[in-house]
Amino acid sequence: MAALSYHGPIILITHRLYINNGSGVFKDETNRLPNVIGSCNSISSADYDQDGDLDLFVAGRILPGNYPNIQVRSYLLKNEGGKFIDATESDAPALFMPGLICEAIFTDYNNDNKPDLMLVGEYTPIIFMKNTGGKFEFVSKETKTFDRSGWFNSICPLDMDNDGDMDYIISNKGNNSFIRASQNEPVHVYWTDIDGNGRTDFFMSYTKGGQRYPLYSLDEMAQVVPKYMGKKYTTYSSFMNQTMEDIFGDKLNDNQMFANEFQHLLLVNNGGVFNIQPLPFETQLGPIYGMQSLDVNHDGYLDVVFNGNNKYTRDQHGPDDALSGGVLLNQGGAGFKYLNGIESGLHLPGDGRGMIVTQNGDNVYVISTQNNDFVKTFKLKSNKSKSIAVKNNVIEAIATLKNGAKRKLVINQGSGYMSSNSKRVIVDDNIKSLSFRLLGKETWENLDISF
């Protein structure tokens, strides 16, 4: 809840592009971009129009000083000979202002060998945009993901059951918080200029017994709109049991959003339609941010490593900091078992944010950033593994396991909360071979894996 406006220099929230010359030296090439303005969490790349070069999607998070106003631009940037043009209105008009997006990834959710888009954010549903051949179509109702709106943070794509299609884990706020949300008792946020002073005010409510009640006390609300609240409520008893409608009438009807799901979720793919399940109870003890998939215990199924927590909540609500990082151990493709940070060795009791998995020599490392703290690095006690580069013209990659199962691989960059793995796949000695489908070619490029 606050009264906000942004009057800072636009240059501070204007995106820039730096090109690596191949020797670790970067040159400012911002002239290759259109005017991209806003604060964002996520940039993802893929050749969405399949013309042989990488395009970008820049997901708008907030316009500083104007939270929670959803008039925040996102940008689909088409690569035209090394220069990017804003193709949002022509190729993905539904994504011009899709909301407060925390992460967006290119991913082939329907196995048609074209990179689709998947988006999650604050007060947004789980959004799927189908690539119909260089144009994107909103299909979240068809994927059965539209009715869940959360404070979603990030997406981890993985073929968790080795059936050749992509499944997803969606991180959220969790259930161990002062603020709760469910299908029957959603949380709402509202924004408008209540007192006519030219500044946006916003308020939140919780739901109980079908009624919406303010999340904040009379004193807190009076600090934001003192004239309005002071005139209407002169005693605490007069404010008691007041609903949002009692307080504001129809003033908040125009600008509002809701969240009805705070659980972390597993989306199991069934031919482009998703079966949605909550993650294990223990993971719901706090918010999760960074997530990556790898086979931790060498059983042929991808597990998930993650970090989380948020200490920077309102003092009245207390910190959301009961997680210590951890591992989700894959149970043979049927679900996940939680191992906390102490059990797994991936002990991250701080405020985890970004996370990547990388390989150096024979060792696999998990690297986690923390808010206002040190970067932490963990080495996997593992089997033999290799890191294989993925060419830009690869449109699909499949790993064949020694038991005959086929696992779809992540090939596009940008899947990670404020972070991204390099364009490589890590394989271990459970993998027999890799197969790559190349743009414009009927045959697959095969690579046998040996150690």
* This prediction's pTM: 0.95
pLDDT (mean) for 199-217 = 94
Residue pair 129/108 in contact (Cβ under 8 Å)? The answer is: no
pLDDT at 268: 98
Model confidence at 362, in pLDDT bands (50, 70, 90)?
Answer: confident
Give the residue among 185, 130, 378, 162 at the shortest CA–CA distance from 268: 162
Burial of 297 (0-12, 13-18, 19+ CB in 10 A): middle
Model confidence at 5, in pLDDT bands (50, 70, 90)?
Answer: very low
Model confidence at 3, in pLDDT bands (50, 70, 90)?
Answer: very low
pLDDT > 90 fraction of the chain, expressed in percent and rounded:
85
pLDDT one-digit tens code per residue, 67-115: 898 999 999 999 999 999 999 999 999 999 999 999 999 999 999 999 9
pLDDT at 6: 46
Which range (25-34, 122-131, 182-191, 246-255) has the least confidence?
246-255
Model confidence at 12, in pLDDT bands (50, 70, 90)?
Answer: confident
User: Does the pLDDT of residue 1 top 60, yes or no?
Assistant: no
Separation of alpha carbons 202 and 193, rounded Å: 8
Separation of alpha carbons 51 and 34, rounded Å: 20
pLDDT at 8: 65
Buried b (16+ CB within 10 A) or exposed e, 106-119: bbbbbeeebbbbbb
> Where on the phi/psi map is residue 110: left (φ > 0), alpha (ψ -120 to 50), or beta?
alpha
pLDDT > 70 fraction of the chain, expressed in percent and rounded:
98
Model confidence at 284, in pLDDT bands (50, 70, 90)?
Answer: very high
User: Does the pLDDT of residue 339 top 50, yes or no?
Assistant: yes
E strands along 74-186, which residues? 75-80, 83-86, 100-107, 116-125, 127-131, 136-138, 149-151, 154-158, 167-171
Residue pair 13/39 in contact (Cβ under 8 Å)? The answer is: yes
